[in-house]
Amino acid sequence: MKKTSIIVLFLLIAMVATIGTVSAANSKTVFRTLLSAAPAVESDAHGNAVFQFADDGSQLKYKLVVNGLDNTTMAHIHVSDTSCSLTPPVLWLYPAGTAPVEIPGVFNGLLGGRTVTSDDLTGNQSINSLDDLRDAIEDGRAYVLVHTTQNMPGEICGVIQ
């Protein structure tokens, strides 16, 4: 378990080291979240994610690392005034498609990471562009929710800040 935690910590440090925090225009381009047990869920699983918007707002790069999740099925960004509630997803983080893919057993490590555009958004919750998503993040209404077979509504979650 200690070795796994060290590996996850190393991945987080590597993610942060490869992503800047401020654009030339001096506006925030990087947002982070720490994931822990969702409300009404007992779980020792945890994770973190880093999101970086391109200076021109045309792309979003992210990395999502989890530790101790059993039978992981999917992960998304959701938007709601009530954090960690189950609303239609606005962006699929894992898998890249729109159908769950189970990772059997306990999973530790990089669950998802890629560069997305507005075309990758689902259009749910009136989030139709990366600018809309960034506004929701800045308003504290966007969060990551990671789902498992044991906790389909979501096992771990965290508000993106």
CATH number of the domain at 16, please: 2.60.40
Percent with pLDDT over 70 in the chain? 83
How many Cα atoms occupy the beta-carbon half-sphere of 134 within 13 Å? 19
Helices (H), 18-105: none
101: phi then psi, degrees, rounded to nearest 5: -130, 115
Consecutive H or E run containing 85: none
Note the pTM of the prediction, 2 decimals. 0.84
Select from 56, 85, 63 the least CA-distant residue to 14.
Answer: 63
* Domain tally, the chain: 1
**Which residue type sits at 122?**
T
Range of the domain at 125: 2-159
CB 69 within 8 A of CB 151: no
Confidence band of 18 (pLDDT split at 50, 70, 90): very low
Q: What is the DSSP letter of 18?
A: T
Chain segment 94-115, per-residue pLDDT in tens: 999 889 999 999 999 999 999 9
pLDDT value, residue 3: 54
pLDDT at 97: 83
pLDDT in tens, 41-65: 999 999 999 999 999 999 999 999 9
Token pair listed for 113: 């990471």
Can you name the residues that pair with 109 across neighbouring β-strands?
66
pLDDT of the residue at 41 = 95
Cβ contacts of 138 within 8 Å, gap of 6 or more? 28
Mean pLDDT of all residues in 129-141: 96
pLDDT over threshold 70, residue 146: yes
pLDDT over threshold 60, residue 19? no
